[in-house]
């Protein structure tokens, strides 16, 4: 008892930023280049550090906290579910995951959902779905997954093989085979590559990690046509761009192209770990009992949080806010880019998924650090882009305040 209570007290003891930074450097596998700030609380579109300073949050946990931090509806749903049933296993039925599947089916017009715990896992499920779909159709030779240059689909071996970028793949060979990459946006190359050995084309409608690159709707339409003609599944990775971020409940609805399956994660449970594969009728029966699974997939607490998020999103038209305020963010970034032409270049994005080019890539991280000192949280992506993926509930005034702070940071540089 003594040991337990002292261990618990040690875990909860107040700690300064310096103490935590040192502990992290000594005890944590150093896979992240963390910025020197200790966030202890979040409220709406603001984060609060250990010294009580408040920051405008343009990162939202990397496109995760769609309804901002500590949203009362999500908090209440988590607390109620945690007090009722935290975990039972996929050996049994539970209420939240079944209801969440029904909500995703209704909103997407697709047929069925499979739950896992992250975006990477959702893409693993999609890759397995595509191969098993071909296999069950009697085309076991259709195994290749075609992905896009610049894509990011995750860090496990399948998702990593689907991420044709040496930055992520280097040193991890051998990667699984059966992946080929083509230029994002190049229809002729897609036409020449999608063939009798192709199981699926996997594409982000808006590339996130490459530095915010939206697809041309005509390109996605051409992929849809080619996949239909050649008996190939078209899968959209909406892990970052989905769930209202670009102004529609699903990103594919913005582009007017319906995929055979969609992967989701990040924003779904507003901060709790969850991933989902949502599959259309064509491939909905391709995974059968025993084909795939995960212990925590469909976790009741995560699914209850997701249900609360989706209910608020629909009730308050959160995607509409993302569209309107995202346009303000885009304009503000264009104004900033015009004011600092030596530092900033092209502004790209849709809704609350915006990026601005940093002309000297080495300065991207320095801008992020200077911004933090002005109490605005932004992030660099793709090596040469400042990325803005704030909570979807952010107001135009909060955007302007964040940009004012960013401008102060730029002025100091
Ligand atoms: C488009 C996309 N797919 C997949 C992933 C991987 O998701 P996770 O980090 O939850 O595994 C990410 C993460 O950034 C992403 O942006």
What is the DSSP code string of 56-103? EESSHHHHT-TT-BT-HHHHHHHHHHHTT-S---TTS--HHHHHHHHH
**Distance (Å) from CA 377 to ligand 1 centroid:** 20
**What is d(CA 164, CA 155) in angstroms, rounded to the nearest whole number?**
11
Question: Any bridge partners for residue 185, and if so which?
Answer: none
For residue 7, the model assigns a pLDDT of 38
The CATH 3.40.640.10 domain(s) of the chain lie at 74-315
Q: Which overall architecture, per CATH, does domain 2-64+317-412 show?
A: Alpha-Beta Complex (3.90)
Pocket lined around ligand 1, Cβ cut-off 6 Å: 118-120, 123, 152-154, 204, 208-209, 237, 239-240, 265
Q: Are 104 and 268 in contact (CB under 8 A)?
A: no
Nearest to 42 by CA among 62, 31, 57: 57
For residue 2, the model assigns a pLDDT of 38
C-alpha Rg value of the chain to the nearest Å? 22
**Interval 382-393: pLDDT, tens:** 999 999 999 999
**Distance (Å) from CA 130 to ligand 1 centroid:** 19
The CATH 3.90.1150.10 domain(s) of the chain lie at 2-64+317-412
**Interval 298-340: pLDDT, tens:** 999 999 999 999 999 999 999 999 999 999 999 999 999 999 9
Q: Can you tell me which atom of ligand 1 is nearest the CA of 265?
A: 10
Q: Can you tell me which atom of ligand 1 is nearest the CA of 118?
A: 10
Q: Can you tell me which atom of ligand 1 is nearest the CA of 154?
A: 6
**What is d(CA 404, CA 413) in angstroms, rounded to the nearest whole number?**
15
**Interval 277-299: pLDDT, tens:** 999 999 999 999 999 999 999 99
**Distance (Å) from CA 238 to ligand 1 centroid:** 9
**Distance (Å) from CA 239 to ligand 1 centroid:** 6
For residue 13, the model assigns a pLDDT of 65
* Test site for ligand 1: of 61, 119, 163, 204, most ligand atoms within 8 A of the Cβ: 119
Nearest CA to ligand 1 atom 9: 119
HSE (CB half, 13 Å, CA atoms) of 113?
25
* Test site for ligand 1: of 126, 147, 265, most ligand atoms within 8 A of the Cβ: 265
Q: Provide the CATH number for the domain formed by 74-315 in this structure.
A: 3.40.640.10
**Interval 195-219: pLDDT, tens:** 999 999 999 999 999 999 999 999 9
**Distance (Å) from CA 152 to ligand 1 centroid:** 7
Nearest CA to ligand 1 atom 3: 153
**What is d(CA 80, CA 212) in angstroms, rounded to the nearest whole number?**
37
Q: Which residues, at least 6 apart from 92, have a Cβ–Cβ distance to it below 8 Å?
A: none
**What is d(CA 325, CA 333) in angstroms, rounded to the nearest whole number?**
12
Task: Return per-residue pLDDT of the chain as tens, 413 residues.
Answer: 333 344 344 555 668 999 999 999 999 999 999 999 999 999 999 999 999 999 999 999 999 999 999 999 999 999 999 999 999 999 999 999 999 999 999 999 999 999 999 999 999 999 999 999 999 999 999 999 999 999 999 999 999 999 999 999 999 999 999 999 999 999 999 999 999 999 999 999 999 999 999 999 999 999 999 999 999 999 999 999 999 999 999 999 999 999 999 999 999 999 999 999 999 999 999 999 999 999 999 999 999 999 999 999 999 999 999 999 999 999 999 999 999 999 999 999 999 999 999 999 999 999 999 999 999 999 999 999 999 999 999 999 999 999 999 999 999 98
For residue 5, the model assigns a pLDDT of 41
For residue 309, the model assigns a pLDDT of 99
**Distance (Å) from CA 243 to ligand 1 centroid:** 14
Helical axes 300-315 vs 95-108, angle rounded to 10°: 40
Long-range contacts formed by 19-28: CB under 8 A, 24+ apart: 20/50
**Distance (Å) from CA 389 to ligand 1 centroid:** 14
Q: Can you tell me which atom of ligand 1 is nearest the CA of 266?
A: 10
Nearest CA to ligand 1 atom 8: 119
Q: Tokens at residue 89, please?
A: 């296993």
**What is d(CA 390, CA 355) in angstroms, rounded to the nearest whole number?**
12
**What is d(CA 119, CA 116) in angstroms, rounded to the nearest whole number?**
8
For residue 14, the model assigns a pLDDT of 67
For residue 15, the model assigns a pLDDT of 86
Output the CA–CA distances (angstroms, integers) from residue 320 to 26, 72, 220, 327, 394, in the order listed: 45, 20, 23, 11, 12
* Test site for ligand 1: of 63, 160, 236, 240, most ligand atoms within 8 A of the Cβ: 240
**Distance (Å) from CA 154 to ligand 1 centroid:** 5
DSSP of 250-300: SHHHHHT---SEEEE-TTTTBTB--EEEEE-GGGTTSS-TTS---TTTT-H
């Amino acid at each position: 008892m003594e040991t337990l209570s002292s261990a618990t007290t040690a875990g909860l003891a107040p700690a300064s930023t310096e103490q935590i930074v040192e502990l992290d450097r000594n005890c944590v596998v150093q896979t992240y280049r963390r910025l020197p700030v200790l966030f202890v609380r979040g409220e709406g579109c603001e984060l609060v550090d250990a010294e009580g300073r408040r920051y405008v949050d343009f990162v939202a946990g990397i496109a995760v906290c769609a309804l901002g931090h500590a949203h009362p509806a999500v908090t209440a749903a988590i607390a109620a579910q945690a007090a009722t049933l935290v975990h039972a296993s996929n050996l049994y039925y539970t209420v939240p995951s079944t209801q969440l599947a029904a909500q995703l089916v209704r909103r997407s017009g697709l047929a069925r959902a499979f739950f896992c715990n992250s975006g990477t896992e959702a893409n693993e499920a999609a890759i397995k779905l595509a191969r098993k779909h071909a296999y069950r159709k009697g085309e076991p030779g259709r195994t290749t997954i075609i992905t896009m240059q610049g894509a990011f689909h995750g860090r496990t071996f399948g998702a990593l093989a689907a991420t044709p970028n040496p930055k992520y793949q280097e040193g991890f060979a051998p990667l699984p085979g059966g992946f080929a990459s083509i230029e994002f946006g190049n229809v002729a190359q897609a036409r020449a590559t999608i063939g009798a050995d192709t199981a699926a084309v996997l594409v982000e409608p808006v590339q996130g990690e490459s530095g915010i690159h939206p697809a041309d709707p005509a390109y996605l339409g051409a992929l849809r046509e080619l996949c239909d003609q050649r008996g190939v599944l078209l899968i959209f990775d909406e892990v970052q761009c989905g769930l209202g971020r670009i102004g529609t409940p699903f990103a594919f609805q913005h582009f007017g192209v319906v995929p055979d399956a969609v992967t989701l994660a990040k924003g779904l449970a507003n901060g709790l770990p969850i991933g989902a594969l949502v599959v259309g009728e064509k491939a909905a029966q391709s995974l059968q009992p025993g084909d795939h699974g995960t212990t925590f997939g469909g976790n009741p607490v995560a699914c209850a949080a997701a249900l609360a998020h989706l209910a608020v999103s629909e009730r308050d038209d959160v995607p509409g806010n993302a569209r309107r305020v995202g346009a303000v963010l885009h304009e503000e970034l264009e104004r900033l880019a015009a004011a600092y032409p030596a530092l900033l270049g092209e502004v790209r994005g849709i809704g609350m998924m915006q990026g601005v080019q940093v002309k000297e890539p080495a300065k991207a991280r320095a801008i992020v650090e200077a911004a933090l000192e002005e109490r605005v949280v932004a992030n660099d992506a793709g090596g040469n882009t400042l990325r803005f993926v704030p909570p979807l509930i952010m107001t135009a005034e909060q955007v302007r305040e964040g940009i004012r702070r960013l401008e102060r940071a730029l002025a100091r540089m």
